[in-house]
Amino acid sequence: MKKVIPAANPDAYVAALAGWQRSFVEALRAAVLEAVPVLEERIKWTHLVYFSNGPVLLIRAEEERVLFGFWRGKRLLHIEPRMTGGGKYELRTLELREGTPLDRATVLELVRAAAALNESVGNPTTLA
């Protein structure tokens, strides 16, 4: 397995991508920042992570897919039932592959709901 060198910043992360992955990540990133402009965008664990009272969501580009994940995703399945996963916290991710349909309105609703949960319930990483 090749070692991943973290991008210096979110813009560099996106700039290093190509093809459909770059298009998906650019669209997700724009929608995330539109939905909740106060989210803090950082490179953490080698991918894009968005924070507000703890981690809210992630965008991770991989060779064959892009993951769009939410720390409280288990509570967001009524918005996007295709999210899967388990384990620590309530993390759920939506696996996007080339051509996967994803409505922009759904992305906006997910991001707003996820940020609101962190606001009302607290940092998901301190409650586990």
Q: What is the pLDDT of residues 12-29, one digit of tens each?
A: 999 999 999 999 999 999
Burial class (CB in 10 A: 0-12, 13-18, 19+), 108: middle
10-120 CATH: 3.90.1150.200
For 98-120, write each residue's pLDDT tens digit.
999 999 999 999 999 999 999 99
Q: In whole angstroms, how far apart are CA 63 and each of 10, 13, 98?
A: 18, 14, 11
Range list of β-strands (E), the chain: 40-44, 47-51, 55-61, 66-70, 92-96
**120: Cα within 13 Å, side-chain hemisphere:** 7
Segment 30-36 mean pLDDT: 97
How would residue 1 be classed by pLDDT, with cut points 50, 70 and 90? very low
Q: What tokens appear for 77 in the block?
A: 């399945």
Q: What tokens appear for 94 in the block?
A: 């939506």
